[in-house]
């Protein structure tokens, strides 16, 4: 549904994005993460047709990003999304439905269903009198009024309270389950980790790592094993009536088992712990600095 090919964006002599290539399949949530200034938003805006690439190209839903028809198949939610504050959610969404030539009855049904799913109750209140979380829900509903196959969400839950954030994260996950293709950018890596099937990590305008979370964990993360024994073994500490040793390989786990048996005891529990996406991201960034 999305195919980016060597996207490049240059402003004067400054290269904001260099050689970004990736694809996203139908029903997939694809995360784009990186520090401020990494090129995430520029990449998303090129995919949405809001910025023209200096080089390279992309297709969304089978259309070149420069084609007008592509926008009928795309829902875009920028990080900052000002609304017409004198309008109500209903009038605002009907306005955008008209822009997309959506039938009035279809638009009303789609609007009500989406606002129900987002748990937005005050639909006749002026947008200027609504909280940031309520406005964000209306902006999400706007991105869906034309029933697009592809959604690009840039920081959809930025600055929102935890309850509203959870609504939006769960709603995004449901969109993918319904067959939508979603590109999702967020600074909160826990949210990315919880809903994204694959991730691209950007730094200084380039994609420096990509893949599913298992692959990134295998390549850039660390796995540790917490082994609990009934007797003391080397490098173990006593915890709650048993002994705890942390090792970094299955060979060391087996060695711990043998040491416990030699001491007249046994292994009673083994727990595996893997790096979080945040730790993977920091490792990727650190390896990039070491190459410079």
Per-residue pLDDT of the chain (292 residues; tens, 9 = 90+): 899 999 999 998 899 999 999 999 999 999 999 888 899 999 999 999 999 999 999 999 999 998 989 989 999 999 888 899 999 999 999 999 999 999 999 999 999 999 998 888 889 999 999 999 999 999 999 999 999 999 999 998 887 888 888 888 889 999 999 999 999 998 888 888 889 999 999 988 999 999 998 888 888 888 889 999 999 999 999 999 999 999 989 999 999 999 999 999 999 999 988 888 888 888 887 765 444 3
Q: How long a stretch of residues is the chain?
A: 292
- Sole residue written with tokens 């520090």: 35
In the structure encoding, which two tokens stand for residue 63, read together?
Answer: 């259309």
Domains in the chain (CATH in brackets) are 2-218 (3.40.50.300), 223-274 (3.30.1490)
Distance CA 41, CA 70 (A): 19
For 274, the enclosing helix (H) or strand (E) is strand 267-274
CB 210 within 8 A of CB 201: yes
Among candidates 46, 74, 80, 39, which has minimal Cα distance to 60? 74
Rounded to two decimals, the pTM is 0.81
């Amino acid at each position: 549904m999305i195919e980016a090919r060597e996207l490049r964006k240059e402003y004067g002599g400054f290269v904001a994005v260099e050689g970004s290539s990736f694809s996203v399949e139908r029903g997939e949530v694809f995360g784009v993460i990186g520090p401020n200034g990494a090129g995430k938003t520029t990449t998303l805006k090129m995919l949405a047709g809001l910025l023209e690439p200096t080089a390279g190209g992309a297709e969304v839903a089978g259309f070149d990003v420069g084609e007008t028809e592509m926008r009928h198949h795309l829902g875009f939610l920028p990080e900052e999304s000002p609304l017409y504050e004198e309008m109500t959610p209903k009038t605002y969404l009907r306005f955008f439905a008209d822009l997309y030539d959506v039938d009035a009855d279809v638009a009303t049904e789609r609007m009500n269903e989406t606002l129900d799913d987002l748990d937005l109750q005050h639909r006749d209140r002026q947008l200027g009198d609504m909280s940031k979380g309520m406005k964000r829900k209306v902006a999400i509903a706007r991105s869906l009024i034309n029933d697009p196959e592809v959604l690009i969400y840039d920081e959809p839950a930025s600055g929102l309270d935890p309850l509203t954030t959870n609504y939006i994260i769960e709603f995004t996950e449901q969109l993918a389950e319904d067959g939508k293709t979603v590109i999702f950018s967020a600074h909160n890596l826990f949210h990315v980790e919880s809903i994204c099937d694959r991730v691209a990590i950007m730094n200084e305008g380039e994609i420096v790592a990509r893949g599913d979370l298992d692959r990134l964990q295998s390549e850039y993360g660390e796995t540790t094993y917490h082994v609990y024994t009934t007797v003391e073994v080397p490098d173990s500490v006593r915890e709650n009536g048993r002994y705890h040793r942390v090792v970094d390989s299955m060979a060391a786990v087996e060695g711990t088992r043998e040491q416990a048996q030699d001491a007249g005891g046994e292994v009673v529990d083994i727990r595996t712990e893997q790096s979080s996406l945040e730790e993977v991201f920091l490792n990727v960034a650190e390896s990039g600095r070491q190459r410079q």
